[in-house]
């Protein structure tokens, strides 16, 4: 991955300070990261180190205090990136299918075309037959899948996922990771995933980016040497466990950095 034309997201020296003076909070400090086409990258780091802030900046919802972000070589990000925030935010009065087409509708796509497009993804998501069901009648995993369909329906240049499985129980979570893996292998849209789950980060990603405590800086970027499709057995290999150990050690180092600063 060395040619410039396959860069999907370029984060160039991004810093972010919220507020001013004595009450200012520095959330991010000089972050540089490039995500390439067909690449899945996870961001992992202590709570409050600025991961969501970074996704908001990449999505164009927030502006950096310093630095800039390019998506497909353009600084216009809002509407060009598909973003799945932490909460699924499904509208309770809309059916699953109509929730999934919200982004398309906002883009001006007519309802019939939008529904047809989303329906194909319902099949891929194993949600066929649940199109007309209201969110309150869906399980947590199903709701996440609907939210995920809404995200990929937007057809952004890249996809941002903020802890999409955080609210799920451990078993559903593994099911959903499996599911995301299979769907992603079909679409291969460049993706940035925020997670607190080290195994999830390694198993889904081509690279894992480890952050320091706030203000978030990149501590380490690890390449995951496994090809795709991936299997659950990979999680038990020495190679996998070695990466896991390295990330755990990095996060421990991060805490030490924090202790020195405080």
Pair of tokens at residue 132: 């007309």
In angstroms, what is the minimal distance from the CB of 80 to ligand ATP? 21
What's the angle, vertex CA 261, arms to CA 67 and CA 46, rounded to 5? 70
In angstroms, what is the minimal distance from the CB of 254 to ligand ATP? 12
Is residue 260 at the binding interface for ligand ATP, with CB under 6 A as the rule? no
Of 99 and 191, which CB lies nearer to ligand ATP in the complex structure? 191
Q: Which residues of 99-119 are buried (b: 16+ CB within 10 A; e: fewer)?
A: bbbbbbeeeebeeeebbebbb
Of 98 and 197, which CB lies nearer to ligand ATP in the complex structure? 197
In angstroms, what is the minimal distance from the CB of 167 to ligand ATP? 13
Is residue 48 at the binding interface for ligand ATP, with CB under 6 A as the rule? yes
Among 3, 5, 21, 47, binds ligand ATP (CB under 6 A): 47
Among 7, 15, 51, 154, binds ligand ATP (CB under 6 A): 51
Of 89 and 106, which CB lies nearer to ligand ATP in the complex structure? 89
**Whose structure tokens read 């451990």?**
170
Among 49, 142, 154, 158, binds ligand ATP (CB under 6 A): 49
Is residue 50 at the binding interface for ligand ATP, with CB under 6 A as the rule? yes
Among 15, 42, 53, 250, binds ligand ATP (CB under 6 A): 53
Which window, 46-54, 144-152, 167-175, 197-205, contacts ligand ATP (CB under 6 A)? 46-54
Do the Cβ atoms of 105 and 94 come closer than 8 Å?
Answer: no
Chain positions 163 to 222 lying near ligand ATP, rule: CB under 6 A, are 214
| SS3 (DSSP) at 216 | strand
Taking residues 5 to 44 in sequence order and writing x for each that binds ligand ATP by CB under 6 A, - otherwise, the string is -------------xx-----x-x-----------------
Do the Cβ atoms of 51 and 214 come closer than 8 Å?
Answer: no
Q: If residue 191 lies in a helix (H) or strand (E), which one and from where to where?
A: strand 191-194
CA separation (Å) from 261 to 17, 214, 255, 257?
17, 10, 10, 6
**239 Cβ neighbours under 8 A, 6+ residues apart:** 225, 226
Q: What's 212's DSSP letter? A: P
| SS3 (DSSP) at 181 | helix
Of 62 and 246, which CB lies nearer to ligand ATP in the complex structure? 62
Looking from the CA of 88 toward its CB, the CA atoms found within 13 Å total 25
How many residues touch ligand ATP (CB under 6 A)? 12
Of 138 and 147, which CB lies nearer to ligand ATP in the complex structure? 147
| Residues of the shown chain interacting with ligand ATP in the complex, contacts defined by CB under 6 A | 18-19, 25, 27, 47-53, 214
């Amino acid at each position: 991955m060395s040619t410039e034309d396959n860069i999907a997201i370029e984060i160039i020296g991004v810093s972010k300070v919220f507020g001013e003076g004595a009450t200012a909070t520095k959330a991010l400090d000089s972050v540089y990261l490039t995500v390439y086409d067909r690449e899945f990258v996870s961001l992992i780091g202590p709570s409050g180190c600025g991961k969501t802030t970074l996704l908001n900046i990449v999505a164009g919802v927030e502006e950096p205090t310093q630095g800039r972000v390019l998506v497909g070589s353009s600084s216009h990000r809002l509407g060009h990136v598909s973003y799945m925030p932490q909460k699924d935010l499904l509208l309770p009065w809309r059916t699953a299918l109509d929730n999934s087409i919200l982004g398309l509708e906002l883009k001006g796509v007519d309802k019939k075309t939008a529904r047809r497009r989303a329906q194909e993804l319902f099949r891929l998501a194993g949600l066929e037959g649940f199109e007309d069901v209201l969110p309150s009648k869906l399980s947590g995993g199903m709701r996440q899948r609907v939210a995920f369909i809404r995200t990929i329906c937007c057809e952004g240049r890249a996809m941002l996922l903020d802890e999409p499985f955080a609210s799920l129980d451990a078993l559903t979570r593994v099911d959903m990771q499996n599911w995301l893996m299979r769907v992603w292998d079909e679409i291969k849209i460049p993706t940035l995933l925020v997670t607190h789950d080290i195994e999830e980060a390694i198993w889904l990603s081509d690279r894992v980016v480890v952050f320091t405590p706030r203000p978030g800086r990149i501590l380490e970027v690890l390449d995951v040497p496994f090809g795709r499709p991936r299997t659950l057995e990979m999680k038990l290999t020495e190679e996998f466990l070695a990466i896991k150990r390295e990330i755990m050690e990095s996060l421990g180092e991060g805490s030490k950095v924090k202790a020195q600063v405080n």
